[in-house]
Homo-oligomer: A and B are copies of this chain.
Amino acid sequence: MTRTAVVGYGNIGRYAVQSVLAAPDMELAGVVSSRAGSILPAALQNVPVVKDIRELQKVDAALLCVPTRRVKEFAQSVLPHGIRTVDSFDIHTEIAGLRGELSKTALRYNTVSVVAAGWDPGSDSVIRALMQAAAPRGVTYTDFGPGMSMGHTVAAKAIDGVADALSLTIPLGTGIHRRNVYVQLKEGADFKEAEKAIKSDPYFSRDETHVYEVKEVSALKDTGHGVKITRKGTAGITDNQRLAFDMRISGPALTAQIMTACARAAMKRQPGAYTMIELPLIDLLPGNREDLIRQLV
């Protein structure tokens, strides 16, 4: 049994606890949260909740369910204990750099770090790599949504006069997206000004953006999301190979499940840091290797 800790008990952490408890080959070592010591949610009644991972017994792997910007700092503090880490760091342009840095720490402390292991980056990256191997010349499009974009929502909330906001990503095909932004204004704020500020924000200025005023943003929130990845390309010299992947999922549930699977894979890797396209997929699954080959290949 792999003793797995969940670090952070927010949006993803809650689902990570469920995924670890549902895994047949894992034990939940505990939850690391700043809430330790205060009144805990019912789901954590029988779970050790601590402020520092060192307070937990024999931790093999830690799922870092912390904000993306804090992943590096948490990984750097957990890896030196020889604990494997898994994160779902999602700033695409900084993944190679994070992998490089965490690789050094993982090698130094003889452990493993799996980075960017959510759905995009993560399982979508695996799909893109497979599609490119199958049809090396061609174009791959990733069309997100409909679903909530965390990054755009945070950007909209930061606009003057906005009390709460929700930004939905609407796929228009071939990698082009519409942004539907729902805002709840602060008392006395002007909608036209907020709308203008949102539309000129770098997060929104390049996309078709629609801003709507609503009374209660919370009534619009759901965590359902989706993505469609398509590639038309050439295998050898034969063109018109068409590949498509489409999924409709709960964003945080899927992220947590992928992280849990990657913790399993982390137990089988040589020291270092890995993205998902560097892991053999069989290692994401519990059970006997030969049985998995018989069942899946």
Contact = CB atoms under 8 A, between A and B. Distances in A.
A117 B293 CA distance: 13
A12 to B, nearest CB: 11
Interface string A98-140: 0110000000000000001001010101111110111111000
A134 to B, nearest CB: 6
A237 B254 CA distance: 10
Contacts of A256: 235-236
A276 B297 contact: yes
A248 interface: yes
A123 B19 CA distance: 27
Copies of this chain: 2
A279 interface: yes
Contacts of A100: 290
Contact residues on A (Cβ < 8 Å of other chain), bracket: 35 or more
A16 B234 CA distance: 13
Interface stretch (A45-53, A72-80, A153-161, A238-246): A238-246
A280 B282 contact: no
A62 B18 CA distance: 46
Interface of A: 15-16, 18-19, 22-23, 92-93, 95-96, 99-100, 116, 119, 121, 123, 125-130, 132-137, 234-238, 240-250, 253-254, 256-258, 260-261, 275-282, 284-286, 290, 292-294, 296-297
